[in-house]
Amino acid sequence: MEIDGNMFGAIDIAVSGLKAYGKQMEVVSSNIANARTTDAGDGQPYRRLEAIFKAKEDGASGVEISELVRDMGDFQKILANPGDPRADADGYISMPNVQLPVELINLNIASRAYQANAAILKRYQKMVESSLELLK
């Protein structure tokens, strides 16, 4: 792990944070939008998506979304109205394994983290500008 003089490193790391948490927002909004999607194209309900965060490298590095995985948890089953074409043999409809409270918590986390990264960018810019004051 080297400590080099790349002072724009902080900027790149903050930008990677913006990208990663922006992606997380995408995932959360996809889950929320599809919370009631009983047919995601192949007859199966929508499966919840989850973003896996990974540090870019050892040491002081940025973050990235390494992959988007499907939550393989069980679908929730709800009782169908009689005659509903989507009902299975037992009269139940499978709903997506999306839980709104969980998604909203993730939304909050992503939003706060995104703002924190944006604040880093702004603060860092001010820091370097203040060191430029030495030359005034």
Partner 1 sequence: MAGHDMNIMNYLEAGLKAESTRQKAIANNIANVNTPGYRRSDIRFEELLAKAIGSKGEIEPSELEPEFYQPKTTQVKANGNDVAMDTEVGELVKNSLRYKTYIQLLKKKYRQMEMAIKVQG
Partner 2 sequence: MAVNFNPDVSSIFPNIEAGKAADSTEAKVNFGKAIAKSLNKVNELHDKADASIVELLSGKSQDINSVVASVAKADMSFKLLVGVRDKLVAAYKETMKMQI
Binding site for partner 2 (CB under 8 A): 5-8, 128, 131-132, 134-135
Other CB atoms within 10 Å distance of the CB of residue 98: 25
Annotate each residue in 87-126 with x if it binds partner 1 (CB under 8 A) or - if it does not, as one string.
----------------------------------x--xx-
5 is a contact residue toward partner 1 (CB under 8 A): no
The interface partner of residue 6, options being partner 2, partner 1, none and the CB cut-off 5 to 8 Å by kind, is partner 2
Burial class (CB in 10 A: 0-12, 13-18, 19+), 80: middle
Please identify, using beta-carbon distances, which residue of 15 and 80 lies nearer to partner 2.
15
Show the tokens assigned to 73. 């948890």
65 three-state secondary structure: strand
Please identify, using beta-carbon distances, which residue of 23 and 56 lies nearer to partner 2.
56
> 55 forms bridges with which residues in the sheet?
63
